[in-house]
């Protein structure tokens, strides 16, 4: 298991296959105020690639090409936020989407704990440390602890997807989940457009 740190873009010759897990680290949780600092990606092979995003807006052509590739499935945990970040960085996002948090809420109805650490603990028997969750991701040099934390957010999403799909199929809720995933991009666009705190379905 190796974590690779890249400046401003993915390497030219990197092939991550047909399904990638994506997560982001930002200066905070406001789409308006807080800038994107790191994008982490894994193909599910036990390795993670972290891209530090240049504050000056240096283009990321290889990362953008991956995000816009319609043939590549993108896996997220709380995809609503990360998809919005990818749209702001790359202009759009294409291809099938899957969110482990939405899948968990649809199938793990016996609990209200749907965080990544809880999912990894219950479904995979893996303990994740969240100590670096609140730290300065905008610094020029990331600590090893930050790198390891960021990598852990994508290393297990493929395994979680497999476990969650099995349960969704068992309870006949996979089609419902897929409909939710298809709406995720529009939900992220609505957040970017100022509807973040508005429930348009509320009476």
- Flag whether 203 is in a domain: no
- Flag whether 82 is in a domain: yes
Per DSSP, which regions of 28-146 are E strands? Answer: 36-42, 48-52, 73-76, 97-99
Q: How many helices (H) and strands (E) does the chain have?
A: 7, 6
Per-residue pLDDT at 44: 97
Comparison of pLDDT for 203 and 178, the residue scoring more? 178
SS3 readout for 169-203: HHCCCHHHHHHHHHHHHHHHHHHHHHHCCCCCCCC
Q: For the chain, give the number of residues.
A: 203
Quote the pTM value. 0.96
Segment 107-117 mean pLDDT: 98
- Flag whether 95 is in a domain: yes
As a whole number of Å, the CA-based R_g of the chain is 16
Helix axis angle for 174-190 and 79-90, nearest 10°, is 50
- Flag whether 42 is in a domain: yes
- Flag whether 128 is in a domain: yes
Q: Residue 198 — pLDDT band, cuts 50, 70, 90? A: very high
Within 8 A by CB and 6+ apart from 54, the residues are: 7, 8
Per-residue pLDDT at 150: 96
Residue 181's domain is classified under what CATH number? 3.30.420.10
- Flag whether 200 is in a domain: no
Phi first, then psi, for residue 157 (nearest 5°) are -65, -35
- Flag whether 148 is in a domain: yes
Count the domains in the chain.
1
Phi first, then psi, for residue 199 (nearest 5°) are -95, 100
Domain that holds residue 34: 3-194
Q: What angle do CA 158, 34, 70 make, to 5 degrees?
A: 40
Comparison of pLDDT for 135 and 61, the residue scoring more? 61
Average pLDDT, the chain: 95
């Amino acid at each position: 298991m190796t974590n690779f740190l890249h400046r401003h873009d993915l390497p030219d010759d990197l092939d991550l296959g047909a399904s990638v897990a994506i997560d982001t680290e930002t200066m905070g949780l406001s789409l308006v105020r807080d800038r994107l600092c790191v994008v982490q990606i894994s193909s599910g092979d036990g390795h993670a690639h972290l891209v530090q995003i240049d504050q000056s807006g240096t283009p990321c052509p290889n990362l953008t090409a991956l995000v816009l590739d319609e043939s590549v499935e993108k896996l997220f945990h709380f995809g609503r936020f990360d998809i919005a970040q990818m749209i702001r960085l790359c202009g759009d996002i294409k291809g099938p989407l899957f969110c482990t948090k939405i899948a968990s809420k649809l199938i793990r109805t016996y609990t209200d704990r749907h965080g990544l650490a809880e999912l990894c603990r219950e479904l995979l028997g893996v303990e994740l440390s969240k100590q670096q969750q609140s730290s300065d991701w905008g610094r020029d040099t990331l600590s090893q602890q930050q790198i390891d934390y960021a990598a852990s957010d994508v290393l297990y999403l493929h395994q979680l997807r497999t476990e969650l799909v099995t349960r969704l199929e068992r309870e006949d809720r996979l089609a419902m989940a897929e409909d939710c995933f298809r709406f995720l991009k529009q939900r992220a666009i609505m957040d970017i457009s100022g509807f973040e705190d508005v429930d348009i379905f509320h009476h």
